[in-house]
A and B are shown apart, each in its own frame.
Chain A
C-alpha cells in the first residue's frame, strides 16, 4: 500500500500540529541518548488519548509500517531509535496522573508522565515512587516500564518491574488489553510481569498502575576513601557479610572522581583510588542502630578517610558528585560510551582488574562508576569522535568488557536494556533455543513484527548512521547518562 494512504489514515485522526512529517520536525526524533545511532522516521504522531494510540497502531498494522513508541528519548541502548521509514509514536503529551490513591498506595498514570513527577505528586502524602534512574527528572514512566529501568537502589527495592501492579496495553495489532490489577498479589500467570522490560516489542502501554511506598524517614550516609579499588570492593563484601541491607552502595574510581571534581567540585577526599558511598534508609530508630554497626564495619576496611555528612546539605553534596559523574566525564573527554554490565558482586574486583588491563591494552581510558550493591558496572569508555576510527576502537573495547561480564556469570545489561546496542551479545548470553523461543513469542504477539522492529534480536535491520558527540540535552545539562 502506498505511503500516502498510511499518512492519510493518520491525518484522519491527528491534526497537523500532532502529525509531523517535515524534515526539520523529524530531526528532533532521529536519535535517543545512544547518540551514536541516527535514523529518520517517516512521520511522528503525538497522541493525547488511548484511542489515538490505538488508531496509530492500527494504521501501522494495516499498512505494515513499523512503529516505535517514545517518551523523552533517554534510552542509552538505542531502544527508542526510530525505524527507517517507520512511525514514531511520541507519548509525551499523555502525561496525566489519572488517579493518585494514597490510601491504596498506588498511582495510575499515563506513559508520558515523568518519573520524578510521580514522586512529587505522592510527596504530600508521605509517599514516593521508588525506582529512580538517574535520568528521573526527564525520563518517562512508559520508557521505564518498557526497559525495566533501575537506579541506585535496586538491591533493596528492586527494579521497575517490582513496582508495576497493572497496565493497559495496545497490542501491535491495535487490540487493547488489561494486564494485572491494583493489588500487589495476583492469581494466574504474571502477564504484567512479562510485559515490563519488553523493550517496545509487545506494543504500547497507555496506562500504568504503580505502587507507592512511604518515603523512608531517615537516610544515613557514609563516604569512605581508599588507596586501592581492591580495598573498596572488599569493603562492600564486608558490609554485605555483616547482615546489613543498605539502600545504596556506590563506587567511583580515580578517573570518575577527577571528572566529578572538575564538574561540580564535589570535594571528595584527595588522592583516592576509589570512593565508596553507603547509605542506609528506613525507620529512624532502626537506621540509627544499624548505622552504628555500619560505621564499625567501615572502620575495619582500611579506608584512609571516612566522612559522615552531618547535615542534609552535606549528604546531598556527596550524591551530587556521584550523580554528576557521567556527564562530568564530558569535562575530560569529548565523547564517551556508557556501558552497562553486571557481574556477581564477589567478582567486582576481578572484573575491574580485567577492565583496567583491557584499558591499558587498547590505550583507551575507562572511568568506572558502579552500583556495587548489585554488581552493576558502568564503565565509561572515553574517546574522541573527531578522530577516524576512534568510535570503532572504543566499541571494540566495550565488546571485550561485555565478554568479561558474560564469562564471570553476569549479564550484558543491568538496567539499560538490549535495544540496538547489545543485540549482538544476546547469543552469548542465551542459547539458540532460548532466543528462538523469545523470537516465537515476539512473532505471535506481533504477527508483522512492526513494534520496535530491529531491536533486541541479533541480525535485525541494517544499523543506523553513526555519529559522535553528546546529546543536545546532555550538553545543556538536562539529562545525564546512567
Chain B
C-alpha cells in the first residue's frame, strides 16, 4: 500500500519562506564585491610583481585572489606573500637595517587577517548601507533613527572590535620582532648572532623557536587530551583495542558468521519439504546388488 510521506527530515532544508528583499540582495552583493576587490588589489600590490607583467595577467591574478577569499581560503594569501618574499627579499641582512620590512609585515598581517575575516565583515557593512537606504526611502524620522543606530553600531564595531583586532595583530608582530631580535635572550644574543654570521649559520634563532613551537604544540595536545569526556575515553580505548587486536576479532567474527550461516543452511536442509510420500521403513528397503555382493564376499 502506498502511503504519502512527509519529506525526509534528514534531507530537508527547513529555511522559512521569507527571503531577502531584492534591493537588499543587490546591495549585499555590491558591497561584498567592492570589499573583495579592495583586498585583492592590496594583496596583488604587495606581491611586488614586475611592471612588465601584462594587464590581463594581473586581472587574472586579482580574480584568482578574489575567488580564494570568497571560498574562505584566506590562508592562501599568506602563502602567496611568503612566496613573493622568498623570491624578492635580499638575504643575510641585519635586522636593524630592515625597518621597512616591519611595516611591510604589519600591512601583510593586516591584509591576511582581513582576507580571512572578509566573508563575515562584508555582511555587516552592506547591511548597514541597506538599512540606511531603506530608511531614506520611507521618512526623515527613520533616516535619523537609522543613522543613529547605524553610526552607533559602526562606532561600536569598528571602533572597539577592530581596535582590539588590530592591537592583537600589532602585538603579534611586535612579539615576533622581539623574539627574532632577542633570541637567545640575554647577553650572549649579539655574540651568538655574530658567531652564526661568521660561520655561515643561518638558523641562529631557529633552535630556540623550534623548541618553543614544540612546547606549545605539546601543551596544546596534552590539554586537548585532558579535556575529553569519559565516553570519549572509553571510545578511544575501544578503537585502540580494535586497532591492536582487530585482525583476531575480525577472524573470530567471520568464523562465527560462517558457522551461523552453515547452521542455518543445515536447518533449512532438515526442514526441506518431502516429496509427499511417507518415509519407507528401513526394513522394507530392498537390498541392492552391491549389498548382496558384499554379503557373499563376507
A binds B: no
